[in-house]
Structure 1
Amino acid sequence: MIEKQTKRIQTVQFAPLTDGVKTGSGGKELNSIEDVNLQLIVELGKTSMKVRDILKIQPGVVIPVDKLAGEHVDVVINGSAVAEAEVVVVDEKFAIRITDIVSKQEREERMHD
């Protein structure tokens, strides 16, 4: 004989969501993520190429990109452009100097382009 099991189904109760980051405790919530690694990329420029052209790349080949010499470069964090910068040389190494922070509205507009 098959016994019928009755399962009790309940609705899950969640704490209410709040807008923004709580900072009432001295910003401890924000401090807890300070050590999270993010990928920062400095994007010099972009171009599109056909596979046959990519297969022909050898040392010495020049690939033009869509930016002019001296133009600002994009600073991209986890796939989103967050700032513009200029390329500088510090102790014989390339570096960037942030010149402008991209506003939230500009980031959203760039994502839709």
Structure 2
Amino acid sequence: MNEKQTKRIQTVQFAPLSEGVKSPNRGKELNSIDDVNLQLIVELGKTNLKVRDILKIKPGVIIPVDKLAGEHVDVVINGSSVAEAEVVVVDEKFAIRITDIVSKLEREERMND
């Protein structure tokens, strides 16, 4: 390379981050997204089936899952378990009653399993 083509390389210098910065809108951040839709899934149970068994499924076929009647179910929001609940019937429709909120530490432990 000749002198005109030589590039100068420098290390980037950033100002230090200050830890005590307070936002004037602190606490209002969540209110700004309170109308965002999230996918909530209640998992009643799981099972593994072979393709031949899936092809035999017809109305009236009972598929056993790994949960027992009366067991708690997991409440999953965007792929992360956030609560436990029990299935209830309200006005002849299934619903859930939240029984326990999963702590942040528990969620992190479950993700690492």
Provide TM-score, normalisation by structure 2: 0.76
Structure 1's consecutive aligned runs of 4 or more residues displaced over 3 angstroms after TM superposition are 13-18
For residues 23 and 90 of structure 2, the distance between their equivalents in structure 1, rounded to whole angstroms, comes to 37
Equivalent residue runs for 1:4-43 within 5 Å: 16=17, 24-43=24-43
1:24 Cα deviation from its structure 2 partner = 4.3
1:52 Cα deviation from its structure 2 partner = 1.7
> What CA RMSD, in Å, does the superposition of the two structures yield over aligned residues?
2.8
Q: Which moved more, 1:51-60 or 1:63-72?
A: 51-60
Unaligned runs of 5+ in 2: none
Helix, strand or coil for the counterpart of 2:74?
strand
What is the one-letter code of the residue matched to 2:41? I
1:51 Cα deviation from its structure 2 partner = 1.5
Provide TM-score, normalisation by structure 1: 0.76
| Number of residue pairs aligned between Structure 1 and Structure 2 | 108
For residues 14 and 61 of structure 1, the distance between their equivalents in structure 2, rounded to whole angstroms, comes to 65
Answer whether contact 1:84 1:102 (CA < 8 A) is retained.
Answer: yes
Aligned to 1:74: 74
For residues 51 and 18 of structure 2, the distance between their equivalents in structure 1, rounded to whole angstroms, comes to 48
For residues 33 and 42 of structure 1, the distance between their equivalents in structure 2, rounded to whole angstroms, comes to 23
Helix, strand or coil for the counterpart of 1:31?
helix
